[in-house]
Amino acid sequence: AQDKEIRIGFINTFSGGASIYGKHQKDGVELALDHLGRKMAGLDVKMIYGDDQRKPDVGRQAADKMLKKDKVHVVAGITWSNILAAVQRRVIRAKKILISTNAGWSAMAGKNCSPYFFSTSWNNDQTPEAMGHLMNQLKLDNVFLISANYQAGKDMLTGFERFYKGGVAGRILYRLGQRDYQAEISQIRAVNPSALFGFVPGPMGIAFMKQYRAAGLHESIPFYSVFTIDYMTLGGHGKAAIGTYHTSYWNNSSDDPVNRKFIEDFKEKYGYHPSMFSAQAYDMPMLVDSGVRAVKGDLSDVKGMILEMEKADFKSTRGKFAYNTNHIPIQNFYRREVRADANGDPEIVTTGVVFENHKDSYYETCKMKW
Amino acid sequence: MAEPILRVEGLGKQFGGVVATDNLDFEVLPGEIHAVIGPNGAGKTTFVAQISGMIRPDAGRIFFDGRDVTQLTAPARSHAGLARSFQITSIFKGFSALQNVALAIQAHSGHSFRMWCPAGTDETLVAPAREILGRVGLGDRAEVTAASLAHGEQRQLEIAMALATRPKLLLLDEPTAGMGPEDSQQMTAFLGALKGDYSILLIEHDMDTVFALADRITVLVYGRAIATGTPEVIRANDEVRAAYLGEEKALA
Amino acid sequence: MLTRVKLICLFLSAAILLAVPPLAQATGEDFYVTLFARIMIFAIAAVSLDLILGFGGMISFGHAAYLGLGAYAVGIFSHYGITDGFLQFGVAILGSAAVALVIGAICLRTRGIYFIMITLALTQMLYFLGISLEEYGGDDGLNTDRSEFVTALDLYDDVTLYYFTFVILVVCVFIMHRLINSRFGMVIRGCRSNEDRMQAIGFPTFRYKLAAFVISGAMCGVSGALLANLTEFVTPEFMHWFRSGEIMIMVLVGGMGSLFGPAFGAAAYLLFEEWVPEIMELVVSGSGQNWQFIFGPLLVILVLFAKQGLWGLIPGGRSNDG
Amino acid sequence: MLEVRGLETAYGQSQVLFGMAFDVGPGEVVTLMGRNGMGKTTTIRSVMGLIPTRAGSIRFEDRELRGSPSHRIGQQGLGLVPEGRQIFPNLTVRENLVATAANRSGSADPWTVDRVFALFPALAERANNMGNQLSGGEQQMLAIGRALTTNPKLLILDEATEGLAPLVRAEIWTCLASLKAEGQAILVIDKSVEALTRIGDRHYIVERGRVVWQGDSRALTADEDIQHLYLGV
Amino acid sequence: MTWLLLLEQILNGVQFGVFLFLVSAGLTLVLGIMNVVNLAHGSLFMLGAYYAATVFGWTGSFLLAAVVMVPMALLSGIAIEVVALRTMYDRDHMDQVLATFGLILFFNESVRLVWGAESQPMPVPDFLAGSVEVLPGTPYPVFRVAVIAVGLLTAFALYLLITRTRVGMLIRAGASNRAMVGALGINIQLLYTLVFGLGAILAGLAGMMAGPLQSVEPGMGEDMLILAFVVIVIGGIGSIRGAMIASVVIGIVEVVGRSILPFAMTGFMGEDAAQTAGPAVSSMLIYVLMAAVLFFKPEGLFPAKTG
Ligand SMILES: Nc1ncnc2c1ncn2[C@@H]1O[C@H](COP(=O)(O)OP(=O)(O)OP(=O)(O)O)[C@@H](O)[C@H]1O
Ligand SMILES: Nc1ncnc2c1ncn2[C@@H]1O[C@H](COP(=O)(O)OP(=O)(O)OP(=O)(O)O)[C@@H](O)[C@H]1O
Ligand SMILES: [Mg+2]
Ligand SMILES: [Mg+2]
């Protein structure tokens, strides 16, 4: 019996402290569906949203429910590596398509890679790799590194140093969830490096930036960050972010009509500026749609869908890109900086390409097996 | 003269500036009721607390039943045969009167790491518990939860629990505290009946009870024993009168 | 003792638990097998916590530690390709017991709020330890395989795992039932009521409380091992203090100091978490994510008005029906 | 000034008071006697609003007190020395006396900390000890002192001499006598019939939650078998 | 690392400690003296930050924000006390823990509903921006100095209130025997409501001072909550002095430990190993400290003299 509708399960953090990630991504997805007329190859789209409460086993529970109860064709979403780690096995074993709209867990690019898995975001290392490269371009030497003391945090440094050629003035791994950084800041000042590279995501980042600025280091030691500053956190950063640099896969300033339409309609619909998370999530339904159309809505032909999706033949906010053999995007990475707009409020502007068609560095270790 | 069951040598205890026990020598002979009286704050309760192992003395040694128990913990002393009742009633409020006593018996029938057989129906605990409740006159209140016993009854339960530990020496801190004349008389009679089977260290402010029961009386003032002797001797002692009894009681 | 009404509730719920898998499969909703397995697993954790919490009056805010330890016992072994269930569960039990012994020995010197906080603190330590264990995935956690006992017992079949869990739950409850009514149980409850007096009548209370603490930890370790099997995944998250809080909630919601209450509490909590958001979605779409907005106040109300928990709400019988 | 009628109180299911009724007039010393568990303390707790009552009326200076929160009742000028002392263990002796001090009777020379210390020198020595460090008797003195420093219009003592040495007891009775002489109204519960008959004007004997006998000291001392029947003397 | 840096780190530790005290001051009052385990303290901390941030956002005046925050926090506190905690005082800690746990969930969600999940902007006010030179060559943010000032002031005021005033005595008396305080003619219920409100104000104050240096977002109180409890427990429940000293000790241990452990450990293990092990250990440090303290002094460093 052919399904008359396509069911997509979307797992993310919707309750509790980190629910902001879920919100931005869900809004992106919903907008995409609007743009698709809420149909894919004539099939109605049914979204099932599942809250993981940022707990792996709860995320796992949600996935189970989607597979068994809702009989979804696609499981998507997921912000955190550890939740992706918890969810992936079940979904892949059930031979359903799994799409990460954020989590860039390296294992999925390498040893755990699977034809059923796609990413509309990136691999954790890629963004810091770009930053490392950028710092080379800027001829920066003697850079200080700060990152969070957990897996993703360490991946970030690995990625950065894979490309960064200059000297390292020192490194700090701070505690996950840390709120006060004066100690680290004093240490950085003492070393007096030429620049600071940091992975300080979300609220930690906001706290760090405020304190960094309060200590007056932002002038003497410029801060080059990844995943710290984005339209999601910009409000919280406020002016403290002005004058900082970061790299991202998303050229938010690009005039690509798809991108423009996305940003405009998004602001229109939700009343706030989309973040890169929204952009990634926006691509997910588009990607699925390409697959569904290829198999003319015969959702039983999962393989057919996948083969089509591998072509990445859909309108992405990042413009044209290709999928690598491990289904991680091969994409450009941009240098972005925070400037004061006309009335002094911070805005993010893309000011150049760091990488063209950048591959992640795990795909060689990926052995696809159906 | 028989070897004393309890002997205390040079016991001393201070709380900050307060000298609660001051180089005290003391003994209880087997089968005797030795009463300790003295003004409020003389250190009687503290004294009992040290013998029963609830408070560590600063100085001195305590011999019980021939051995030095100064270093033993409260539970260990209880097993050695010391039992205490509290001046301020201390019972298991949530349990029934029966359970209260049964628990006390259990404490002295082997270790309690028996995790499988129900204790509530264990006759080796319940039967003696009932028997003891009967003896203190709470036979008909066995199933009542301790919290809802009247003050007087709770005092009786205190004693029952002390007895349940099959002690050689009973340390009774004001057993008749808060009891009406009738109940006091009952309690007095009851304690009288225990005489001989148990040695008793009795703290009491109710002189009728004391003079009725005590073989010997020690008067404590500021942690020091100012006099020890038979009731007659104590009655006659001027210092005691001045410090404690006051006139009318002594003459009575 | 139990009143008739309570007995009926008991048998009903047992019957329901037994009937879940066939019903689920008949209706093609076999997701409920996993859900109820999860419920029973946390029921075990809650029951184990109730021993020290409800009966012993030791408010441990760190019970999640043993959940995590049990889980990691399974996880680490299967990380090295060892999936023998007897070994895994054995280590889960002994490991949790051992850690409980150490933690207990430290914590039981303190009382009241101090006890609450130090149990919390030590569990947080384990949590951070878990995060820093790179070999075992650190904060990414660890994918695990399910345990293998005897070939007849294939835990990869969710239904088998379900009944396996069910049996263990029943065993745990029965053990608890014997325990709290035994002499040992009386001692534990006595300590809750008046520890000084316990010592005066001759109980060296420390060792009994410690024993209870260890037993409780070990039992919770089992539930941890089961959880690892169910989710095929272990993570430091299992040891987060919020998790300890949740287990406490289950106990209280069900009824502290009652034998069956905690199990019902676990069911109530997890079903709430599962269904209320959906119901809210039906009412106002998009509101499901705010279920805690309802749950929080509900919890307060429950604490305020249902002192005996749900089990106590069932008419008749004191809650202390151990 | 205090007028209790038809008071009924129960702890959960078990009713304890069945139509308790008694009066205390200005400057009068009234006593409640009775065996253990007859409901004396319960009566007091009901009057003080410490437990909910089922029925009856409690009028103090023609104001109905029943049902009003206990702090109101306290403010009206009822000063309680509760059974079992209940001093504040985590306050020093001095703080125990200062914390709730007031002059409710508006007397010219009110009870002060120093007057209490004068009355109980033992307390003065312990002025800076914590309440829980006091001996049973010292605690009892403190409880009385604490009630006095609120300068109540009606002083209520429940077993105030429990656990006191004969000397101190004697002191307290003399103290009560002198208070009486100053015109202080007092409601006393005690076990020592003999002392009560000495200072009390009128006596009520409580049996199973109701008054079974009342009269003045002469009548009581005269009536041997009443004493025997209800007080077991 | 140089001695000067070490000195600076110790200073940072002290500053963090004083901040910790500020966070736990309200809790000391409610937990230590009123004897209520109030997990919702973290939520009040969060509310304080949100109130201040909002007003600050509208008016641009930090002082005005403070002026508005105080009554708002007071009301929130009173509301909590009246609705949830009033009947909890004589209940055992378990009930209090769970009821207030429920409050945490409630307030986090409420804040999300009202302000949204995004973190709220709250910069350092201009008149407290910039830095002063405390040690040669090490400028120190003025705002952090301000935090120290506020913290010490609070400590002093609270100490006087509790130990020197009659209100203080009554609060402590009520903690041990509410019924009796009532019978002696004090409206303990009202008193407690107000005291709880005061606790809320202190929590709010801490939140307001945290805002400009942290992220004002739902759940921002939780991490702080645990720290606050650790402070109080180490210091000895009910002892203001203890809380102050414990805060500073914890502050120093946390900060200095964090900054020197990685170096220290490179000594006996490889650079890389130390780089990861160091932070891991230091993140457990305060818990180790707490466990150690309670092991040797089960009543905390300065047990309040309740015997
Ligand atoms: N924990 C303590 N800390 C400080 N002082 C204490 C402590 N316990 C008792 N004291 C003091 O030691 C003295 C003796 O107290 P104790 O209770 O032994 O007297 P007592 O003889 O039992 O008096 P009573 O007959 O009134 O019960 C008292 O002055 C009391 O204040
Ligand atoms: N908290 C309680 N719960 C249940 N019943 C109680 C409670 N307190 C007292 N009672 C019962 O109420 C009755 C009266 O108690 P109450 O204390 O008023 O007597 P009393 O006359 O003061 O006795 P006593 O002379 O021993 O103080 C007693 O039978 C007692 O069992
Ligand atoms: Mg005494
Ligand atoms: Mg009474």
Confidence band (pLDDT; 50, 70, 90) for B249?
very low
- pLDDT for E306 equals 42
The mean pLDDT of D156-166, rounded to a whole number, is: 85
Q: Report whether pLDDT(E257) > 50.
A: yes
Q: How many CB atoms lie within 10 A of CB A29?
A: 25
* Cross-strand partners of D5: D57
For the cut 70, the answer to whether the pLDDT of residue C322 exceeds it is no
Rounded to the nearest angstrom, the distance between the alpha carbon of B171 and the centre of ligand 3 is 12
Ligand 2: lining residues by beta carbon, under 6 Å: B 147-152, 178; D 11, 14, 16, 34, 36-42, 83
Any chain C CB within 8 A of the CB of B122? yes
Q: pLDDT for A76-94, tens place per residue?
A: 999 999 899 999 988 999 9
Residue B250 has pLDDT above 50, yes or no: no
C289 part of contact set with chain A, CB < 8 Å: yes
Q: Which of A10, A46, A82 to probe the C interface (max C CBs under 10 A)?
A: A82
Nearest CA to ligand 1 atom 24: B40
How much is the average pLDDT of A173-200?
A: 91
Give pLDDT, residue C321: 39
Name the residue facing D136 among B88, B183, B249 (closest C-beta): B88
Provide, as residue numbers in chain B, all residues whose Cβ is less than 8 Å from the Cβ of C205: 75
In chain B, the percentage of residues whose pLDDT exceeds 70 is 96
Is the shortest distance between the CB of D85 and ligand 1 below 6 Å? no
Residue C50 has pLDDT above 90, yes or no: yes
Q: Does B252 score more than 50 pLDDT?
A: no
3-state class of C316 per DSSP?
A: coil
Judging contacts by C-beta atoms under 8 Å, the chain E residues touching residue C132 are 276-277, 279-280, 283
Option in C139, C140, C141 nearest A176 (CB): C139
Residue E212 and residue E214: Cα distance in Å, rounded?
Answer: 6
pLDDT tens per residue across span B75-103: 999 999 999 988 778 899 889 999 999 99
Q: Which chain E residues are closer than 8 Å to A17 by Cβ?
A: 108, 217-220, 222
pLDDT > 80? residue B2: no
- pLDDT tens-digit profile of E68-92? 999 999 999 999 999 988 888 878 8
pLDDT exceeds 70 at position E16? yes
Tens-place pLDDT, residues A105-155: 989 999 899 999 999 999 999 999 999 999 999 999 999 999 998 888 888
Chain A partners within 8 Å of E130 (Cβ): 216
Confidence of residue E19 (pLDDT cuts 50, 70, 90): very high
Mutate to test the pocket of ligand 2, among B93, B140, B143, B148 (most ligand atoms within 8 A of CB): B148
Q: With contact defined as beta carbons under 8 Å apart, do C203 and C195 qualify? A: no
Flag whether pLDDT at E265 surpasses 80.
no
Residue E43 in contact with partner chain A when CB distance is under 8 A: no
What is the residue with the minimal CA distance to atom 6 of ligand 1?
Answer: D133
CB pairs under 8 A between B and D: 102
Distance CA D49, CA E9 (A): 58
Q: Which range among C231-245, E131-145, E263-277 shows the weakest confidence by mean pLDDT?
A: E263-277
Best to test chain D binding among B21, B37, B40, B219 (most D CBs inside 10 Å): B40
Task: Name which residue sits closest to atom 24 of ligand 2, judged by CA.
Answer: D36
Read off the pLDDT of each residue in E237-257 and give the average, rounded to a whole number: 90
User: A180 in contact with E at a CB cutoff of 8 Å?
Assistant: yes
CB contact under 8 A, C296 and E103: yes
Three-state DSSP class for residue D158 = strand
Q: Which of A23, A216, A236 sits opposite E120 (nearest CB)?
A: A236
Burial zone of A137 (CB within 10 Å; 0-12 exposed, 13-18 middle, 19+ buried) = exposed
For ligand 4, a single-atom ion, the residues with CB < 5 A are: D 41, 83
pTM: predicted TM-score of the whole model, two decimal places: 0.87
C34 CB neighbour count, 10 Å cutoff: 22
Distance from the alpha carbon of residue C58 to the mean position of ligand 3, in angstroms: 31
* Sheet-wide strand order for A74-77: A39-40, A43-51, A5-12, A74-77, A97-100, A117-119
Closest ligand 1 atom, CA of D165? 25
Q: Which residues contact D229 (CB under 8 A, 6 or more apart)?
A: none
Are E276 and C249 within 8 A, CB to CB?
no
- Top mutation candidate among D7, D8, D11, D46 for ligand 2, by most atoms within 8 Å of CB: D11
Number of neighbouring beta carbons within 10 Å of residue E167: 15
Task: Tell me if chain D has a CB within 8 Å of the CB of E176.
Answer: yes
Kindly report the average pLDDT of chain C as a whole number: 89
pLDDT bracket for residue C73 (50, 70, 90): very high
- The pLDDT of A33-58, averaged and rounded, is 92
Q: How does the average pLDDT of chain B come out, rounded? A: 87
User: What are the C-alpha distances in Å from E108 to residues B85, B124, D114, E31, E105?
Assistant: 52, 56, 53, 21, 5
Which pairing describes strands D202-207 and D210-216: parallel, antiparallel, or unpaired?
Answer: antiparallel
pLDDT tens readout for residues C269-280: 999 988 888 888
Within 39-78 of C, beta carbons closer than 8 Å to A belong to: none
Q: Given a cut of 70, is residue B246 above it in pLDDT?
A: no
Q: What is the pLDDT of residue A34?
A: 95
Given a contact cutoff of 8 angstroms between Cβ atoms, the answer to whether C88 and C73 are in contact is yes
The residue whose two tokens read 């060792």 is: C207
pLDDT at position C6, please?
Answer: 81
Kindly state the percentage of chain D with pLDDT values over 90. 57
Mean pLDDT across chain D: 89
Chains near D (3 or more Cβ pairs under 8 Å): B, E
Using the predicted structure, report yes or no on whether residue A291 has a pLDDT greater than 90: yes
Q: Which residues of C touch E88 (CB under 8 A)?
A: 303-304
Nearest to B46 by CA among B84, B82, B9: B84
Determine how β-strand A117-119 pairs with β-strand B18-28. unpaired
Contact E170, D101 (CB under 8 A): no
- The residue-averaged pLDDT of E100-126 equals 90
Q: For CA atoms A304, A309, A313, A315, give the dihedral sign.
A: positive
Per-residue pLDDT of B185-210, as tens digits, reads: 888 888 888 888 899 999 988 888 88
Closest residue to E280, CB basis, from A149, A171, A235? A149
Residue A189 has pLDDT above 70, yes or no: yes
Percent of chain C at pLDDT > 70 equals: 97
Q: Please check the confidence at residue C239 and state whether its pLDDT lies above 70.
A: yes
pLDDT of residue A343: 87
Ligand 2 midpoint to CA D40 (Å): 8
| Chain-chain contact of E233 with C117 (C-beta, under 8 angstroms) | yes
Q: Per mean pLDDT, which range of A283-297, B181-195, D102-116 is the poorest?
A: B181-195
Token pair 């990445």 is found at A312
What is the residue with the minimal CA distance to atom 22 of ligand 2?
Answer: D41
Is the shortest distance between the CB of D133 and ligand 1 below 6 Å?
yes
Q: Please write the tens of the pLDDT for every residue from B150-170.
A: 877 888 899 899 999 989 999
Name residue A174's beta-bridge partners. Answer: A148
| Residue E143 pLDDT greater than 60, yes or no | yes
Kindly identify which residue of chain D lies nearest to residue B243, measuring between CA atoms: D167
CA B148 vs CA A79, B94, B142, D230: distances in Å: 59, 9, 12, 22
For A21-34, how does the pLDDT look when each residue is reduced to its tens digit (9 = 90+)?
Answer: 999 999 999 999 99
Higher pLDDT, E158 or B87: E158
Residue nearest to atom 28 of ligand 1 (CA): B41
Q: Which residue has the higher pLDDT, E175 or A94?
A: A94
Nearest CA in chain E to A206: E215
Question: How near does any CA of chain E get to the CA of D78, in Å?
Answer: 8
CB D2 within 8 A of CB D24: yes
Taking the Cβ of residue D121 and every Cβ of chain B, the question of whether any pair is shorter than 8 Å is answered with: no
User: Average pLDDT of C66-74?
Assistant: 96
Protein residue closest via CA to atom 8 of ligand 2 = B148
Q: How far is it, in rounded angstroms, from Cα A9 to Cα A16?
A: 20
Q: What residues have their beta carbon closer than 5 A to ion ligand 3?
A: B 45, 87; D 136
Given pLDDT bands bounded at 50, 70 and 90, which one contains residue E1? low
Interface test with C, best of B106, B112, B123, B145 (most C CBs within 10 A): B112
